[in-house]
Amino acid sequence: MQTQALQSNFRTTAPNPSTGFKGFEAGAFTFARDEYFAHVSWPDGKHSMPIDAFLRALMRDIAWGFFYGTVNFDGVFGTTNHYGEVEMFAGSMNEAYTSTKRDFLQRFSADDLMKTFREMIDDWTVEGYDPFAAPMETSVPWGPKRGKNSSAVTRQRVTAKRMVGMPGDTPVRSDASGYPVNRMFADVAQDAPEVHAEPGFEGQISAYNLFGYVSRSDVTWNPSVCSVLKDSLFCPTSEEFMLPVEHGNDRCEWFLQLSDEIVWKISDGKTGKPRATVTMRAGDICCMPADIRHLGFSPKRSMLLVWENARADLPQMIRDQKIPVVAVRF
């Protein structure tokens, strides 16, 4: 695979006198927002997205550290993680663009691009709007610049080292720690498991209420690492409305539906052509193959356990066809 030179042009332009929002440049890409839309331009093209959809996608790309594989903001614009470096593209995952050679792609240091993305979300997110929140739980992003919501857009993704609730690890959530039960999970039991450690074994025996923990999540579509077995990561998350990105897999990823229902629209990872619709209800478990992209719809807030294998060389093993794009053949 040909490696592109890393781009070094990063620039922030003065606030637009009409809207009050700053503009941004990264490589040959430029970004601007107005009262309703985000506009992305590159040397031979331009693309616009509704600002709410753009900010929700940008927020996940930031929070996930460009995640595993490709984060398609929509069918045109997105990023692909190369773990330390990132490709930003327009049309590269869209057959209409690639077949006419109208796609455009540049490569960046992940840290450098992340700085620009963080600055962008901080400037473009207005007071009262939370791109992590379900639409019914936040104000609107429209209009000219009015204040900020820095505390919402700088939340840190939870990553337990061993398991939530263990001594020295990420704590359980509670009313007192600022995590009330979400309105759609008011009926979820909040009882704690009984834990009886013999003297001398305190802290070695541990359990917590994972469903209660997820019911108190203040964000949507933002998996938290809650238990860790080497590269095997259990990442539960609360989901409502729709996944703000089409996540393109670079490895197999498993979903275990813990409650309620999510419908997944599955498309080909490279072309975007539809492949399947997967409906998951409580107890259902399935694999997202490594060559697809997926977009989820959750009409009621639901609990999903995302299971990742964080092994660093998996994408290359798949590209080299050392392992298949499906997790199990039978």
Partner 1 sequence: MTHTTQFGSIAAFQSGGIQPIDDDPKNYVFSNVFAVAGKSAPYERIAVGKNLEYVIEAVRAEGISPWYAAPHDEFALAMDGDVTVEFVKHVVNAEIGGTAGAKLLTTEPQGKKMGWVRLRRGHMALLPVGAAYRFNAQTISCLVIQTIAGPLTVERWALICHTQALS
Out of 273, 312, 320, 321, name the contact with partner 1 by CB under 8 A. Answer: 273
* Sites for partner 1 among residues 286-315 (CB under 8 A): 286-289, 300-301, 307, 309, 311
CA distance 200 to 202: 6
Single-letter amino acid, residue 260: D
* Sites for partner 1 among residues 167-206 (CB under 8 A): 183-189, 191-198, 200-201, 204-206
Out of 115, 139, 274, 316, name the contact with partner 1 by CB under 8 A. Answer: 274
CB of 204 to partner 1, least distance (A): 6
Cβ proximity to partner 1: between 114 and 181 the closer is 181
Burial of 218-227, coded b for 16+ CB within 10 Å and e otherwise, reads bbbbbbbbbb
Kindly report the backbone phi and psi dihedral angles of residue 25, in degrees, each rounded to the nearest multiple of 5, phi listed first.
-130, 140
**295, containing H or E segment:** strand 292-309
259 forms part of the interface with partner 1 (CB under 8 A): yes
Cβ proximity to partner 1: between 25 and 284 the closer is 284
**What is the DSSP secondary structure assignment for residue 292, as one 8-state letter?**
E
* Sites for partner 1 among residues 63-82 (CB under 8 A): none
316 forms part of the interface with partner 1 (CB under 8 A): no
Asked if 182 and 136 touch (Cβ cutoff 8 Å), the reply is no
CB of 177 to partner 1, least distance (A): 19
Residue 212: exposure state from Cβ atoms within 10 A (0-12, 13-18, ≥19)? buried
139 forms part of the interface with partner 1 (CB under 8 A): no
**What is the DSSP secondary structure assignment for residue 36, as one 8-state letter?**
S
Kindly report the backbone phi and psi dihedral angles of residue 96, in degrees, each rounded to the nearest multiple of 5, phi listed first.
-65, -35
318 forms part of the interface with partner 1 (CB under 8 A): no
Out of 134, 280, 304, 306, name the contact with partner 1 by CB under 8 A. Answer: 280
C-alpha to C-alpha distances, 77 to 102, 154, 253, nearest whole angstrom: 13, 23, 22
* Sites for partner 1 among residues 31-70 (CB under 8 A): none
140 forms part of the interface with partner 1 (CB under 8 A): no
CB of 330 to partner 1, least distance (A): 4
Asked if 163 and 208 touch (Cβ cutoff 8 Å), the reply is yes
CB of 97 to partner 1, least distance (A): 20
